[in-house]
């Protein structure tokens, strides 16, 4: 029997967008987060509510009741999430070596040995990867 993968330390993309919205707004209702995300990511109210509830369950946000609505606030700070994301990147793509990441970042895009030696996978734009 195959075990499920361990949870990633960094919230998935849509949860992260909700968390970014909470960072901007401080404390907000589902509707306020939905409105904040609307220009870039128009999401249904129920989708935003589900994403915020997931963040609460995972410890990334807090929720309190005010009248008939819930207000959400971030528990994870931006620097914490950035650190987790960089650690995940280093662990998964650079064999756990921050030095390898630094070397990679200091390479010129045209002369980067690993990146330029490979053909783009299935014609994908590698700058997005």
Residue 83 located in a structural domain: no
Structurally, how many domains does the chain consist of? 1
Q: For residue 67, tell me if it sits in a domain.
A: yes
Secondary structure of 6-69 as H, E, C letters: CCCCCCCHHHHHHHHHHHHHCCECHHHHHHHHCCCCCCCHHHHHHHHHHHHHHCCEEEEEECCE
26 part of a folded domain? yes
Q: Give pLDDT tens digits along the chain (129 positions).
A: 777 656 677 899 999 999 999 999 999 999 999 999 999 999 999 999 999 999 999 999 999 999 999 999 999 999 999 999 999 999 999 999 999 999 999 987 765 555 444 544 554 444 444
Res 46: pLDDT: 97
73 DSSP β-pair partners: 62
Q: Model pTM?
A: 0.74
């Amino acid at each position: 029997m195959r075990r499920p993968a361990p949870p990633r330390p960094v919230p998935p993309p849509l949860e992260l967008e909700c968390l970014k919205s909470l960072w901007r707004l401080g404390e907000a209702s589902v509707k306020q987060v939905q409105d904040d995300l609307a220009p870039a990511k128009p999401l249904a109210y129920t989708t935003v509510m589900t994403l915020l509830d997931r963040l609460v369950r995972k410890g990334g946000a807090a929720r309190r009741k005010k009248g008939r609505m819930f207000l959400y606030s971030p528990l994870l700070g931006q620097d914490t999430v950035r650190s987790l994301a960089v650690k995940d990147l280093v662990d998964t793509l650079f064999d756990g070596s921050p030095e390898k990441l630094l070397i990679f970042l200091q390479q010129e895009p045209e002369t980067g040995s690993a990146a330029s030696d490979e053909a783009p996978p299935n014609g994908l734009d590698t700058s997005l990867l």
